Amino acid sequence: MAAYAKNLNTAEIAYGAIDEAEKVQLLGEIRSNPNKDVRSADLSVFCGNAQDAEGLLLQSGHIFRAIMLNITLFRWDRALELATKHKMHVDTVLGYRQRYLEEFEKKETHPKFLQYASEVEVDWDTINERITAEYEREKNK
């Protein structure tokens, strides 16, 4: 209840009392984020409301974070939709999707992913540089 009410200190104490160390650590990470919008979105995900989290991120202009949220939640179609709509990080979505499929020894069958895979090069050095740049840009705002 404390997490839903955005009372992070009380939520940390409550989770600590029931030996939920991972949740205490996650709440600490959420609380330490200096960006109010990202903090609110992270708390929404923590409380199980990914749709609200995505909305908060998109409204506040954190497109990259919204794309990464969908990747993290394996909502591949939505991640690709956001990436193509905003013309950013299409290669990031494709790269993470490829890694995911390789992990489970599967081949790509989704038509949209096949189409973009033939058009966009996945270069992990470039992807990692751009991800780092996105987080640095966010930190400097």
Whole-number pLDDT of residue 5: 76
What residue has token string 């991800």? 131
pLDDT at 6: 72
Kindly provide the residue ranges of all beta strands, DSSP E only, lying in the chain, ordered along the sequence. none
The pLDDT, as a whole number, for residue 128 is: 97
pLDDT at 34: 86
Give the chain's residues under pLDDT 50. none
Query: Residues 41-67: pLDDT tens digits?
Result: 999 998 889 999 999 999 999 999 999
Burial of 22 from C-beta contacts in 10 A (0-12 / 13-18 / 19+): exposed
Which pLDDT score, from 0 to 100, does residue 126 have? 96
Structure tokens, 71: 């990747």
